């Protein structure tokens, strides 16, 4: 889904038509405030994580009320940028500001008047980036669920295994038998869906988890 936030009806309508010609779905908003209100409802407590599908935001930089730049900063603070790449629409005088926004995490900016095909090409690339970020989030969620299923003892064994301790040292440190260590180790591997300590370390590599 491509979200279009621009205060000019004619711009939103033209972009929506252009996206339909490339078989891309879009939804338009006349202001940053309207988009924020819509987004707040989808991210309310009890709602599933948003977005659920690859998404992109095409955002006018200058609008009455809340500016596109302020909305961008709020999206960045909420951690949504990898999942919702932002492409700014900007006038010539705003190019330095747009370049600065790209350095802070915006996907790109397109100067008005823009080339239709070039803009849609960048939107399609942004949607691909969103799909990759969604896949990473889903993987992280699956790892978190698996970790939550581990017992306290299995977690203790897992951390010592990841530290490179052989079963005998794990048993000595936890004051349990080697056979018990082997059982817990096997259960950890089974719950985490891995076959070795190396696979487990690779799975947990990245942002620190439990």
Classify each residue of 34-68 as buried b or exposed e, where b means 16 or more C-beta atoms within 10 Å of its C-beta. ebbeebeeeeeeeeeeebeebbbbbbbbbbeebbb
> How much is the pLDDT for 206?
52
> How much is the pLDDT for 207?
43
> How much is the pLDDT for 91?
82
Give every residue of the chain whose pLDDT is below 70, as ranges.
Answer: 206-210
- Is residue 109 classed exposed, middle or buried when 0-12, 13-18 and 19+ CB atoms within 10 A define those classes? buried
Angle at CA 114, nearest 5°, toward 28 and 59?
35
The domains found in the chain, sorted by start residue, are: 2-144 (3.40.50.2300), 149-204 (1.10.10.10)
Closest by CA position to 11, among listed 87, 89, 92: 89
CA atoms within 13 A on the CB side of 170: 24
User: pTM score, two decimals?
Assistant: 0.72
Strands (E), the chain: 2-5, 26-29, 56-60, 86-90, 108-111
């Amino acid at each position: 889904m491509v979200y279009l936030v621009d205060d000019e009806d004619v711009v939103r309508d033209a972009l929506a038509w252009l996206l339909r010609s490339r078989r891309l779905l879009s939804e338009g908003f006349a202001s940053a405030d309207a988009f924020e209100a819509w987004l707040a409802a989808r991210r309310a407590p009890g709602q599933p994580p948003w977005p659920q599908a690859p998404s992109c935001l095409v955002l006018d930089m200058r609008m009455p009320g809340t500016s596109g730049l302020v909305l961008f900063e709020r999206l960045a603070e909420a951690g949504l940028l990898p999942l919702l790449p932002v492409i700014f629409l900007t006038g010539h005088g705003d190019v330095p500001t747009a370049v600065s926004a790209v350095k802070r995490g915006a996907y790109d900016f397109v100067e008005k008047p823009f080339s239709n095909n070039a803009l849609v090409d960048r939107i399609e690339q942004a949607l691909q980036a969103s799909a990759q970020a969604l896949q990473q989030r889903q993987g992280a969620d699956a790892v978190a669920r698996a970790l939550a299923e581990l017992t306290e003892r299995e977690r203790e064994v897992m951390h010592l295994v990841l530290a490179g301790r052989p079963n005998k040292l794990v048993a000595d440190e936890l004051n349990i038998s080697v056979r018990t260590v082997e059982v817990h180790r096997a259960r950890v591997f089974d719950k985490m869906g891995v076959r070795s300590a190396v696979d487990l370390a690779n799975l947990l590599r990245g942002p620190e988890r439990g």
